[in-house]
Amino acid sequence: MISELLRKWFNLEREPCRSCETLQMQLSIANDEKRQLLNLIMSSAKSSAPLSPPVEYEKLAPKAMTWNVRRQLLEQEDRAQAKILAEQKAHAASSIASLEKELGVAE
């Protein structure tokens, strides 16, 4: 009691207890680890390229078009896909024929 009054009157600091010192030491260690992890994350984020390309919002806006225009676009896409499939089929048939000729397989 007297020591507390003397500390209060003369503005003396309290002697920290062992458990307080231990807790402060553990807290400082945890803070250092967090700081190191944050620096590691930030340095890797700066060195790497952005994850996704920037979004062009003008392309995302809905476009008003009539059914006839939409149908024509769909038909063009279908014709292009059909042309690609036909080319692939012709290429496959020619490669099969050349393999049969090479192996001497008669039909």
70-91 pLDDT, tens digit each: 999 999 999 999 999 999 999 9
Instruction: Report yes or no: 7 and 14 within 8 Å, Cβ to Cβ.
Output: yes
Cβ contacts of 76-84, under 8 Å, gap ≥ 24? none
Rounded alpha-carbon distances, angstroms, from residue 36 to 43, 44, 52, 79: 11, 12, 27, 58
When mean pLDDT is compared over 6-20, 34-48, 63-77, the highest value belongs to 63-77
Neighbours of 7 (CB within 10 A): 13
Separation of alpha carbons 73 and 67, rounded Å: 10
**pTM value?**
0.37
Q: How far apart are the first and last CA of the chain?
A: 113
